[in-house]
A = this chain, B = another copy of it.
Amino acid sequence: MTAPTAAPTGCLIIIGNEILSGRTQDVNLNHLAKVLGGMGVRLREARVVADDEAAIIEAVNQTRARYTYVFTTGGIGPTHDDITAACVAKAFGVPLLRDPEAVRRLEAHYAGTGRELNEARLRMANVPQGGILIDNPVSAAPGFQIGNVFVMAGVPAIMQAMLASLTNRLVGGPVVLARTVRCLVGEGELAGGLSAIQDRHADVDIGSYPTYREGRFATSLVLRSPDAARLAAATEEVAALVRGMGAEAEVVEGAA
């Protein structure tokens, strides 16, 4: 195995008025972030856009030029507000075609259910020319990949199944390891020393997240690096900083 020279990056485009109106709390970003992180693809940006053709096309074209992989969620159902496939086709400048394999899957799914595979449902078989289907083991209607863009459903259970079925198409990079130093010290006390440690370990990303624990100010200091030795070295310095202030430093694996 050869490691890629630069870590692959990802971007998520969340498509849906229901997220922007506050009707629906998005959970797909968090799931995607964890899955990508586990395979060494770094999610660098996410955008939430309305069910609006111009907005979707712009977001797709801006981000696919910038990131290794772009994922979209939402807008691939059978109703008039499901415009993602058509917009992605326009973004790529290709026609939207009815995919025979997608039709076959829908036929197989609806056969014997008593539900009709009508024209509205057949719209879910429309795929931009050159698109490769993404399996939907939940409700058959597939997503698709075109170029570096992966189009998935918005319903979390379906999105998660689609993502699981497509990860073998992604080339990961070095997995970023994380370690957390938790302490009952306010982050303002730690800031000076922490900044000096960050300066000495430019290749380790150090994040500081305040919380309240046991009625006191507490801080989670999350360190990230693909290099285990450098991560350990920086973590030890952070733990020493905390202990030097007379506090306990609890070191845990992962971003806690």
A interface with B by C-beta (< 8 Å): 17-27, 29-34, 37, 42-51, 55, 77-82, 115-116, 118-121, 123, 155, 176, 178, 186-192, 194-195, 198, 205-210, 217, 222, 224, 255
Contact = CB atoms under 8 A, between A and B. Distances in A.
B30 A27 contact: no
Given A49-B45, A155-B210, A187-B78, A30 B22 contact: yes
A77 B205 contact: no
A198 B22 contact: no
Contacts of A79: 187, 190-191, 194-195, 208
Given A18-B207, A20-B46, A45-B47, A80 B25 contact: no
Nearest 7 CB-CB pairings of A with B: A120-B191, A22-B33, A22-B34, A79-B208, A46-B48, A80-B195, A23-B255
Output the residue of A47, A188, A192 with the most chain B CB within 10 A: A188
* Prevailing SS type, chain A contact patch: mixed
B21 A43 contact: yes
Copies, count = 2
A49 to B, nearest CB: 6
B17 A207 contact: yes
Contacts of A120: 188, 191-192, 195
A48 B192 CA distance: 27
A252 to B, nearest CB: 12
Given A22-B255, A79-B190, 17 more contacts: A17-B207, A20-B42, A22-B30, A22-B37, A23-B255, A25-B30, A26-B26, A26-B30, A46-B47, A80-B198, A80-B206, A81-B198, A81-B208, A118-B189, A119-B192, A120-B191, A121-B191
Contacts of A119: 192
A191 B118 CA distance: 9
